[in-house]
Structure 1
Amino acid sequence: MTPHNPVELVPYDPQWPADFRRIRSRLLTWLPQALSIDHIGSTSIAGMIAKPLIDIDIVLPSLEHVADATAVLLAEGYEPRGNRYDDDVWAFLSRGSAPAERVYLCPAGNGTHRNRLAFRDFLIAHPESASEYAALKRRLAAAFRTDGDRYTAQKRDFVDAIVERALKGNA
Structure 2
Amino acid sequence: MATLVEIVPYDLNWPRHFSTISSELRQLLGNKVVAIDHIGSTSVPGLSAKPLIDIDITLNGLADIPAASAALIEAGYDPRGNRYGDDVWAFLHSGSTRKQRVYLCPPDNETHRRRLAFRDYLRNHKDVADAYAHLKERLAKQFPYDGDRYTAEKSSFISNVVERARSVANGAIDSEQVGEG
Structure 1 stretch 81-90 or stretch 113-122: which is displaced more?
Answer: 81-90
Q: What residue is the counterpart of 1:49 in the other structure?
A: 48
Q: What residue is the counterpart of 2:35 in the other structure?
A: 36
Q: What residue is the counterpart of 2:73 in the other structure?
A: 74
Task: Confirm or deny: 8 A CA contact 1:5 1:149 kept in the other structure.
Answer: no
Q: Which runs of no fewer than 5 residues in structure 2 stay unpaired?
A: 175-181
Q: Name the count of aligned residue pairs.
A: 169
CA distance in 2, matches of 1:6, 1:151: 11
Deviations 1:22-55 (A, max 9, x none): 0000000011220000000000001111000000
- Within 5 Å, which residues of 2 pair with 1:68-147? 68-147=67-146
Q: Which runs of no fewer than 5 residues in structure 1 stay unpaired?
A: none
Q: Which runs of 4+ in 1 moved over 4 A?
A: none
Question: 1 or 2 for the larger relative contact order (CA 8 Å, sep ≥6)?
Answer: 1
CA distance in 2, matches of 1:41, 1:164: 17
1:146 shift after superposition: 1.1
AA aligned to 1:48 is: L
Q: What residue is the counterpart of 1:158 in the other structure?
A: 157
CA distance in 1, matches of 2:163, 2:84: 17
1:134 shift after superposition: 0.5
Deviations 1:115-136 (A, max 9, x none): 0000000000000100110010
Q: What residue is the counterpart of 2:4 in the other structure?
A: 6
Secondary structure class of the residue paired with 1:136 = helix
1:6 shift after superposition: 1.9
1:158 shift after superposition: 0.1
1:167 shift after superposition: 1.2
Secondary structure class of the residue paired with 1:145 = coil
Q: TM-score, normalised by structure 2?
A: 0.91
1:5 shift after superposition: 2.9
1:70 shift after superposition: 0.4
Q: TM-score, normalised by structure 1?
A: 0.96
1:85 shift after superposition: 2.1
Secondary structure class of the residue paired with 1:103 = strand
Q: RMSD in angstroms over aligned alpha carbons?
A: 0.9
1:64 shift after superposition: 0.4
AA aligned to 1:57 is: D
Secondary structure class of the residue paired with 1:31 = helix
AA aligned to 2:56 is: D
CA distance in 1, matches of 2:117, 2:167: 10
CA distance in 2, matches of 1:56, 1:116: 10
CA distance in 1, matches of 2:29, 2:156: 34
CA distance in 1, matches of 2:84, 2:167: 22
CA distance in 2, matches of 1:84, 1:50: 22
